[in-house]
Structure 1
């Protein structure tokens, strides 16, 4: 049988087809001595099928904390009394300022996020007011992440001008009940179907390192590929105090690079965006390693409840690597 990287080169790099489950699993088992070779191949795939452009996104939490769901990784759940995160809500002026800062940081996309099961009318009204104000002052694409949607809510968001909607599947369907009990995986999948049906781009990813097996990581990647996302944000577990996963280990650098390559080989033509936890799992030069190992987008600055790298450091790095920024 041909070597795993030779098979990936033939199937994914040359033909542009996703690798099968057995090959994806073998990628996750590849030895440390071949990590550089693996990442180089993932980068070749990214360059051939996505180009060299890097897309930068800024995110802001419109409503932080106080969520009624029990997602085990999330410090914003109101059910975890020991979590230090408390409910906060921003006003429209603050959202506009955040969008302006994101644009200054090179972002072409600005995502409005709320910690809720799904939006109520008050929240949708506030998002609509924010979009009007942002579009008046900032040249940037607006996306949203407001939880589980109804058909009517999805249609309204599209009418507001939301271009891309984020709703993470989070993990493999087989592992999801160990992470969340207050809603099920199929509810999330149904929201993504509504997003597509209403003409918005799908953004859906998840978190590596929540106790899933390597087989479940492959399952997760293939389930994401099946919903045909425009963008897949990849997070690495940053264990949050007060949550059920607070004492879980941080994914190692090698584990993280294997996961990045595996996702690239599962979705050769998709935007793979660095999200939370990259600084912990990959170290200070980890963003560079990831962007030369299959990733092609980043979130600049801080995340929702955790600190990220300074946007200036990421922009300097992209300039050094001669990777051009996407522009509007």
Structure 2
């Protein structure tokens, strides 16, 4: 299909509206077919004057192909800091002069955090560790934590433990881990600018193993790390090819002491355009608001995102940065009349 980037809508008073929205309405909303890489780029290049129409279309797509429910998740860091990798955005790297200190949580702390998360209505609780990949000590801690959580609270347990071996993937699946998060972080072409201690392909291989083991795949990344719009569109297409069950969308929150600590924050309109574009690329995927939304979008932007394609949120704090109070997100969902997805709908 040939898409024109110059043909404008003939609607009076709307000179900035490109026909890519009309194409997306027919292709994505009506047929459920995600936009291609080239089409996503067109969406990312739309002017601010088209943003309201774009968000409205993305919301319609979300409602048609995902429904009104919003999936709520909490995350906890089992092992913080001291990571040997050099992800340039991350203050948990042991290679940078960042203020995060290495620390471990014990199993009772994990259980209590899971209980508090469940009280918000969340159906997902993700155990995260700052590592290249889990060693035997970490695998044992995760096994004990997952078992204790399952005994104490009715919630799905997810994990994010870095790159895995086939045996580790099998063990996590046997523990009953519902979903595994391993972000590709950015477009394949830009990845060497973000990480040098491992490759994009190594991350992809872990995701392949997770899918084969029957766990749900959670894979997203961070936008606003200096990538071009073309690379942002490339990343959307690569995620769509992976067909993840969930895509957490983070916006860079520059961390002191990291190589990306001096980058400018992404603008609110650019962030919202990205949200909508990724929804149009992946109409059936759980698209989750994750880190950085508070400083990039603020309260108004959170509302606009939920009305512009987002259908999942992380509540509470993130790994090394503060989030919105969980109550604020839950209250907003109630105000928008968006029901929290029930546990039996996520199984």
TM-score by length of 1: 0.99
Q: Does 1:74 align with 2:90?
A: yes
Runs of 4+ in structure 1 off by over 3 angstroms are none
In structure 2, the residue matched to 1:313 is: 328
In structure 1, the residue matched to 2:12 is: none
Q: Counterpart of 2:59 in 1: which secondary structure? A: helix
In structure 1, the residue matched to 2:57 is: 41
In structure 1, the residue matched to 2:41 is: 25
* Per-residue deviation, 1:106: 1.3
In structure 2, the residue matched to 1:132 is: 147
- Once the two structures are superposed, residues 155-178 of structure 1 have per-residue CA deviations (whole angstroms, 9 ceiling, x without a partner) of 000000101000000000000001
In structure 1, the residue matched to 2:217 is: 202
- Once the two structures are superposed, residues 228-250 of structure 1 have per-residue CA deviations (whole angstroms, 9 ceiling, x without a partner) of 10000000000000000000011
Q: Does 1:290 align with 2:318?
A: no
Structure 2 unmatched ranges of 5 or more: 8-18
In structure 2, the residue matched to 1:242 is: 257
State the number of aligned residues.
Answer: 327
Q: Counterpart of 2:187 in 1: which secondary structure? A: coil
What is the CA–CA distance in structure 1 between the aligned matches of 2:35 and 2:242, rounded to whole Å? 16
How do 1:1-328 residues align onto structure 2 when only pairs under 5 Å count? 1=4, 3-80=19-96, 82-328=97-343
What is the CA–CA distance in structure 2 between the aligned matches of 1:36 and 1:30, rounded to whole Å? 11
What is the CA–CA distance in structure 2 between the aligned matches of 1:107 and 1:325, rounded to whole Å? 8
What is the CA–CA distance in structure 2 between the aligned matches of 1:185 and 1:20, rounded to whole Å? 21
What is the CA–CA distance in structure 1 between the aligned matches of 2:323 and 2:125, rounded to whole Å? 16
- Once the two structures are superposed, residues 249-268 of structure 1 have per-residue CA deviations (whole angstroms, 9 ceiling, x without a partner) of 11101000110011001100
What is the CA–CA distance in structure 2 between the aligned matches of 1:49 and 1:19, rounded to whole Å? 14
Q: Counterpart of 1:284 in 2: which secondary structure? A: helix
Equivalent residues of 2:184, 2:221 under 8 A apart: yes
In structure 1, the residue matched to 2:16 is: none
* Per-residue deviation, 1:22: 2.1
* Per-residue deviation, 1:107: 0.6
Equivalent residues of 2:133, 2:161 under 8 A apart: yes
* Per-residue deviation, 1:225: 1.0
Structure 1 unmatched ranges of 5 or more: none
* Per-residue deviation, 1:20: 1.7
What is the CA–CA distance in structure 2 between the aligned matches of 1:200 and 1:314, rounded to whole Å? 28
What is the CA–CA distance in structure 2 between the aligned matches of 1:174 and 1:20, rounded to whole Å? 17
* Per-residue deviation, 1:25: 0.6
What is the CA–CA distance in structure 2 between the aligned matches of 1:74 and 1:320, rounded to whole Å? 34
What is the CA–CA distance in structure 1 between the aligned matches of 2:27 and 2:41, rounded to whole Å? 15
* Per-residue deviation, 1:226: 1.0
TM-score by length of 2: 0.93
Q: Counterpart of 2:338 in 1: which secondary structure? A: coil
RMSD: 0.7
Query: Which of 236-245 and 279-288 deviates more?
Result: 279-288
Q: Counterpart of 2:299 in 1: which secondary structure? A: coil
Q: Counterpart of 2:77 in 1: which secondary structure? A: strand
